[in-house]
Structure 1
Amino acid sequence: MTRRRWAVLAALAAVLLAGCGKADQAAAPAPSYNDTDVMFLQMMLAHHEPEAKLLELGKKQSRDPAVRQVAVELDIEQAADTRTIRDRLTGWGQPLVSTANHSAHEAHGGLPLLDDAELLRLASLTGDEFDSTFLTMLIGHQHGAVELAHMETATGVDPATRELAARTDETVRAQLQQLLKMVA
């Protein structure tokens, strides 16, 4: 081969190799989610944890069949949402629990969480007092889910996560109307 042919082949090889590297870089899609999407999902998981304990108490201790039925239905819905949330975070390679400083979330409404002391107090109640307190605690807690959903729909970008937030907002608002009628 002549020197010129070697030069042409070397130049062609360099172009092909350079193109391959750029094609690999271009093929890597940008994430379809942002920090708000991740934070919403992580906060919803944190929101579901104490709610599961509250619903378990409602299923076991309420004497009112309507209250027990609400606890059962909400528990089923929450379990499905929890699976969806876990799958989405895992699929994104994100932790299930936020690694950010806890105080970083205070600006998002300072949402009250059900703590163990409140749940222990509820567990010690019986009859109508239990049912009334259970419903009041559930109403307050469910309001937190609405606030989280609003945060997501305001600045989240992942379509599936925004849909989950919109569905959560709609569903929980309907649940709140039902719960408020039960307490009245």
Structure 2
Amino acid sequence: MRALNDNRITRKLALTGAVAAAGLLLAACGGSGDSDGMEHGGKTSATASSGAPAGAFNDADVMFAQMMIPHHEQALQMAKLADGRAEDAEIKQIVAAVEKAQDPEIQKMKSWLKAWGKPESTPGGHGGHAMAGMLSDADMTDLAAAKGKEFDRKFAELMIAHHEGAVEMAKTEQKDGKDPEAKKVADDVVRTQAAEIAQLKKILDRL
């Protein structure tokens, strides 16, 4: 009887030990899995965080910023010439709108290029990609020499061409770009400058 009891106790202890061992094994596997998961997650997170800036933009985004900065800067130069020369109230309104919209966009695009580790301009240009709508030095000189209604007409004509160039570049960014913020600015350029082109054409019709 005692031997039987001993056997039962032995079996019970063995069973308890097996359960405990299985529990430890499971915990070890679970711990290893969790550890792996955390490490993997950390690696993924690190890769995502270090790779995010590189993956968030492409060459089209860079070109858009590098070309649109000087394009916007010239629009601001044109707007400055209106001071003391423009006569038409609507032309003055558009001048104010250009100054309000384009200077902040220039600062945004400069900050992108800095974050991306890209220069604001490239010495070799963009391989045949001309900045559409850019005025020549002669155009700027003619605009500076005009005054009153003559200035208003010339400004409207030149700004229409200038805006059309910006819209063209922005549409390329909408199609080929990757960076969400750059694409949003492209959307804004298309929307606002297309509206200003329509307004400038109406102004020209009545001048």
TM-score, normalization by structure 2: 0.71
Q: Is 2:125 the partner of 1:102?
A: yes
- What is the alpha-carbon distance in structure 2 between the residues aligned to residue 62 and residue 143 of structure 1? 21
- What is the alpha-carbon distance in structure 1 between the residues aligned to residue 82 and residue 93 of structure 2? 9
* Residue matched to 1:23: 43
Gaps of 5+ in 2: 1-38
Q: Is 2:198 the partner of 1:177?
A: yes
- What is the alpha-carbon distance in structure 1 between the residues aligned to residue 125 and residue 117 of structure 2? 21
Deviation by residue 1:71-119 (Cα, 9 ceiling, x = unmatched): 12211111111111111111212111134x326143x6x6241122211
- Contact 2:133–2:165, Cα closer than 8 Å, also in 1: yes
C-alpha distance 164-131 of structure 1, shift in aligned 2 (>3 A):
same
The letter for the 1-side match of 2:95 is A
TM-score, normalization by structure 1: 0.80
- What is the alpha-carbon distance in structure 2 between the residues aligned to residue 23 and residue 80 of structure 1? 37
Q: Identity over the aligned pairs, expressed in percent?
A: 30
* Residue matched to 2:168: 147
The two structures, once aligned, show a CA RMSD in angstroms of: 2.3
- What is the alpha-carbon distance in structure 1 between the residues aligned to residue 133 and residue 148 of structure 2? 26
- What is the alpha-carbon distance in structure 1 between the residues aligned to residue 185 and residue 157 of structure 2? 25
* Bigger relative contact order, structure 1 or 2 (CA pairs below 8 A, ≥6 apart): 1
Gaps of 5+ in 1: 1-18
Pairing partner for 1:61 from 71, 85, 97:
85
Note the 1:101-180 alignment, pairs <5 A: 101-102=124-125, 104-106=127-129, 111-180=132-201
Structure 1 residue 122: Cα displacement = 1.2
Runs of at least 4 residues off by over 4 Å: none
* Residue matched to 1:38: 62
* Residue matched to 2:35: none
- Contact 2:75–2:98, Cα closer than 8 Å, also in 1: no
- What is the alpha-carbon distance in structure 1 between the residues aligned to residue 86 and residue 159 of structure 2? 13
Note the 1:2-13 alignment, pairs <5 A: none
- What is the alpha-carbon distance in structure 1 between the residues aligned to residue 179 and residue 92 of structure 2? 35
- What is the alpha-carbon distance in structure 2 between the residues aligned to residue 73 and residue 26 of structure 1? 42
Name the count of aligned residue pairs: 163
* Residue matched to 1:14: none
**Secondary structure of 2:104 counterpart:** helix
